[in-house]
């Protein structure tokens, strides 16, 4: 925890606990779109990684707190968000596009091209 993050009244235990950000997951023919709410996380404190078929979203909350501020009420009681997803095989993890704007992360994970649905014409003779 840095000086700028004082979201909790009491010191947290050494074990790294984190909050689970709410998400929306939408699937269309091209792939998956994931939205995640990570309010208070600056761009440089957002950490996204994909390892094998696991997608991890992590972010650190930074609040501007004046000197000597004492927290009196905290609903966001931990300065960290973390959520892990298992991706399925048909998704192309090499072509993930990410946008991060005002605390909202938008991820687009396309399906591998050869797996995208194609219309097959069947001629009836």
Partner 1 sequence: MMYRSLFPRDVFAELDRLQREMQQAFDLSPSIRGVARGGFPAMNVGSTSKSVEIYAFAPGIDPASLDVQIEKGVLTIAGERHVEEMPEKAVMHIDERFAGRFRRIATLPDDIDPNAAEARYRNGMLHISIARKEAAQPRRITVQ
Task: List interacting residues with partner 1 (CB under 8 A).
Answer: 6-7, 9-10, 13, 17-29, 33, 35, 37-42, 62-78, 81, 101-104, 106
- Nearer CB in complex with partner 1: 13/124: 13
- Closest separation between CB of residue 51 and partner 1, Å? 20
Cβ-based nearer residue to partner 1, 25 or 95: 25
SS3 14: coil
Task: Give the DSSP H or E segment for 49.
Answer: strand 46-51
Question: How many residues in the chain?
Answer: 125
Name the minimum Å distance from CB 123 to partner 1. Answer: 25
Q: What is the DSSP code string of 96-118?
A: -EEEEETTEEEEEEEBPGGGS--
* Min dist. Cβ of residue 11 to partner 1 (A): 11
From the CB of residue 107, how many other CB atoms can be counted at a distance below 10 Å?
22
């Amino acid at each position: 925890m840095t000086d700028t993050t004082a979201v909790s009244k009491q010191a947290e235990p050494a074990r790294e606990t984190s909050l689970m950000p709410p998400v929306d997951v939408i699937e269309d023919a091209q792939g998956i779109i994931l939205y995640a709410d990570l309010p208070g996380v600056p761009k440089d404190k957002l950490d996204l990684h994909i390892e094998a078929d696991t997608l991890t979203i992590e972010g650190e909350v930074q609040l501007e707190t004046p000197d000597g501020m004492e927290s009196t009420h905290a609903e966001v009681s931990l300065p960290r968000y973390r959520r892990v997803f298992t991706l399925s095989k048909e998704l192309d993890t090499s072509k993930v596009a990410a946008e991060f704007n005002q605390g909202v992360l938008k991820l687009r994970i396309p399906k591998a091209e050869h797996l995208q649905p194609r219309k097959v014409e069947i001629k009836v003779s």
